[in-house]
Amino acid sequence: MPPVLVSTVDGVMTLTLNRPQKLNAFVREMHGLLREALTQAESDAGVRALLLTGAGRGFCAGQDLAERDMSDPNLDLGGALEASYNPFIRRLRALPKPVVCAVNGVAAGAGANVALACDLVLAARSAAFIQAFSKIALVPDCGGTYWLPRLAGLQRAMGMALLAERVPAEDAERWGLIWKCVDDDKLLGEANALARTLAAGPTHTYGMIKKALYASPNNTLKQQLDLERDLQREVGRHGDYREGVAAFLQKRKPAFTGR
């Protein structure tokens, strides 16, 4: 079985990390498969939402620690990040389509931060997030130092990074790290329903919403108002806006094309 399963149904491309015996820890081959899937998601207009999840009892335990050659005096973890994780994170955030993550179990190290890179994160009640890095004397990566303070505040970010403790899904929801914590047996159903709803939405506009919200933390109010003006000008010329207004006035469900 490949270590990442890819399937597309009703406009939702589902990526399932699939090394359950190792809690879906990342190995090189997975990055290759994720790269291919993202290339397809970017170019295929039939893919209108992405759903990322894990097989088995874990979501992802981060980098497979057995994959690195510890005897290599020139071991370059920065190079490894730049070759695999960083482009993945950048592409997830820049994908002009919504990305839902269903965290089905423990999400540790890079696994936690890949989950937090997604646009909407649902987690099973039994799941937990662990900034495991400091346990092996590494710093949080995959954007962790960027969004932990922004999402949860500096104290909680610092606590998570220094102590590398389990943050249960319910706390993650309370702290604003994730969208929603749901009962374990409901997770996949809810995540699928959410992804399908998004896949039937105004995809082009969703891309613009991502752009605006992800730009916001680094913008002044003036810059953000300018950006909103420019984006609204663009989406206002799109057929989905006309369809949305027509559907409202005709009291029916809109049929957005996203194109």
Cα distance between residue 163 and residue 217, in whole Å: 26
Based on the shown chain and the rule CB under 6 A, indicate whether residue 110 belongs to the binding site for ligand T3D.
yes
Single out the segment in contact with ligand T3D by CB under 6 A; choices: 129-137, 146-154, 185-193, 201-209: 129-137
Based on the shown chain and the rule CB under 6 A, indicate whether residue 162 belongs to the binding site for ligand T3D.
no
Size of the site for ligand T3D (CB under 6 A): 24
> Which of 109/201 has CB closer to ligand T3D?
109
**Closest CB 255 distance from ligand T3D, rounded Å:** 42
- Cα separations in angstroms, 115 against 39, 189, 192: 19, 18, 16
C-beta of residue 109 within 8 angstroms of C-beta of residue 68: no
Region 20-39 residues binding ligand T3D, contact defined as CB under 6 A: 22-23, 25
> Which of 35/211 has CB closer to ligand T3D?
35
- Nearest of 133, 135, 99, 132 to residue 116 by alpha carbon: 99
Based on the shown chain and the rule CB under 6 A, indicate whether residue 143 belongs to the binding site for ligand T3D.
no
Q: Which of 132, 169, 178, 198 binds ligand T3D (CB under 6 A)?
A: 132
Q: Which of 136, 158, 213, 225 binds ligand T3D (CB under 6 A)?
A: 136
Cα distance between residue 113 and residue 169, in whole Å: 14
Q: Which of 9, 45, 65, 245 binds ligand T3D (CB under 6 A)?
A: 65
Cα distance between residue 24 and residue 223, in whole Å: 40
> Which of 116/198 has CB closer to ligand T3D?
116
**Closest CB 109 distance from ligand T3D, rounded Å:** 3
Any idea which residue has 């159903």 for tokens?
189
Based on the shown chain and the rule CB under 6 A, indicate whether residue 203 belongs to the binding site for ligand T3D.
no
Based on the shown chain and the rule CB under 6 A, indicate whether residue 83 belongs to the binding site for ligand T3D.
no
Based on the shown chain and the rule CB under 6 A, indicate whether residue 129 belongs to the binding site for ligand T3D.
no
Single out the segment in contact with ligand T3D by CB under 6 A; choices: 102-110, 151-159, 175-183, 229-237: 102-110
Q: Which of 98, 109, 201, 244 binds ligand T3D (CB under 6 A)?
A: 109
Q: Which residues of this chain interact with ligand T3D, rule CB under 6 A?
A: 22-23, 25, 61-66, 68, 77, 80-81, 106, 108-110, 130, 132-133, 135-136, 138, 141
